[in-house]
Structure 1
Amino acid sequence: MFTGIIQAMAPIVSIDKQDKLWRFGMRFTGSLKEHLKHGASVAHNGVCLTVAHQDDEIVYFDVMDETLQITNLSQCAVDDILNIERAMRFGDEVGGHILSGHIAMTATLIERAATPTNSRLRFSCDPRWMKYILPKGFAAIDGASLTIGEVGGDWFEVYLIPETRSLTTLDSKPLHSAYNIEIDSQTQAIVDTVERVMAQQGNR
């Protein structure tokens, strides 16, 4: 489980592309590497990956074909920088929201409006997911837990404070980039349950 509070940004140093499986080599230093064990879970741009091997500062993670199809990791290249969060531990302060690291879809950055103090990002996404994205709700965007602002039929907006802008890659990616989106699981469960109940009542 994760909180959506990005701990660091780390570079990709290698990508070994095998049949339906990519192995990412990531350079982890400092607290990212401390007490990191084989099999541990680490979120990369919000995607939960498992430590497969370690070699000094390089940590290797396997990415399955299904994950590559759903997320923006398939668009990554060596030297790209990813948002990283280690799995939460019991007793840690939860400053964001409880996340699973399971990405629902990607959204495309279609507009950015920056000022000296904040930045507004507008994303477009498949309209079928918009029922789970509500004003003042939250979503994890490339691993960072953010409050949703304005919402349209196939788009939504978030605002970034200076801290988020400096500690993540969210405000440095070019327009038309794909961002990983994890929706609020509780919102999804409520919406799906209400839809199912209404459908059952309609069939009576």
Structure 2
Amino acid sequence: MFTGIVQGVAHVEALTDRPGLRSFRLRFPPGFAQGLEIGASVSCDGVCLTVTSLDGDDAASFDVMQQSLGLTTLGGLVQGSAINVERAAKDGAEIGGHPLSGHIDVTGTLREIRRPENNHVLRIGLSPRWMRYVFAKGYIAINGASLTVAEADRQAGWFEVWLIPETLRQTTFGSKQVGDVLNIEIERSTQVFVDTVRDALDERLGPLLPALEALLRERGLSTDELARPMLPPQRG
């Protein structure tokens, strides 16, 4: 498990391709790998990877399966690429963000960047299949960072997050450009609540459900909005 609090930026030092597998050697910030062991988990741009070898206190290697390369942004990394990293949480660790599994659900595309004073706003496009789980003031993980959704437009298919200078300093977000692809992990409890509500509506309403969905669409809503009152409190 990870906390979603990025601990630094690592750089891809070398890549080696083998059938169905790619190996990465990452160079970490000084001291990041101190005490790290083979078999330990590290979040790499939000993807949970296992340490396969160590190179002092500042570097380690990881193997990535072809499936993970295709489903995440890791397949596009090249030598010199920068990624967000976090070591696995220890028992009793403070959860400054929200619990993350390191299993990416989908990728989103950076549509727009705005830079109001002392802030950095990212608008990210997401498919309807996954936008149903995104609510303003709810949690979401982007490239391994736990962030709070500021705004979400389900019909237009986007959500926004606002980043403070400290977040930009500690992560790779400051270098992202419009069109870049980002790893997204949906907050699990929100997904469970939304799916439960949808299943309950389908079971109880049956053939009436399409009529309800049409009525809600006329008002710019969807059945997913019915889950909002059930969601557990989120940090603002």
| TM-score above 0.5, yes or no | yes
In the alignment, is the contact (CA less than 8 A) between 2:8 and 2:29 conserved in 1? no
1:93 aligned partner: 94
Tell me, yes or no, if structure 1 residue 173 matches structure 2 residue 173: no
Give the CA deviation at 1:29.
4.6
Q: Which moved more, 1:1-10 or 1:55-64?
A: 55-64
Q: Which amino acid aligns with 2:108?
A: A
Partner Cα separation in structure 1 for residue 160 and residue 29 of structure 2: 33
Tell me, yes or no, if structure 1 residue 159 matches structure 2 residue 162: yes
Partner Cα separation in structure 1 for residue 120 and residue 131 of structure 2: 22
Partner Cα separation in structure 2 for residue 15 and residue 180 of structure 1: 20
Counterparts of 1:2-151 in structure 2 under 5 Å? 2-56=2-56, 57-151=58-152
CA offset digits 1:102-135 (Å, max 9, x no partner) = 1111111010001340111101111110000111
1:190 aligned partner: 193
Tell me the TM-score normalized by structure 1: 0.96
Select the structure with the greater relative contact order (CA < 8 A; seq sep ≥ 6): 1
What is the CA RMSD across the aligned residues, in angstroms? 1.3
Partner Cα separation in structure 2 for residue 167 and residue 28 of structure 1: 13
Query: Which structure 1 residue ranges, 4+ long, deviate > 3 Å from structure 2?
Result: none
SS of the aligned residue for 1:37 comes to coil
Partner Cα separation in structure 2 for residue 58 and residue 93 of structure 1: 25
Unaligned runs of 5+ in 2: 208-236
> In terms of Rg, which structure is larger?
2
Paired-residue identity, %: 44
CA offset digits 1:126-182 (Å, max 9, x no partner) = 111000011100101111111001111211100000100111001211210001001
Corresponding residue pairs, total: 204
Unaligned runs of 5+ in 1: none
Q: Which amino acid aligns with 1:151?
A: A
Q: Which amino acid aligns with 2:190?
A: T
Tell me the TM-score normalized by structure 2: 0.83
Partner Cα separation in structure 2 for residue 65 and residue 193 of structure 1: 32
Instruction: Give the structure with the higher percent strand.
Output: 1
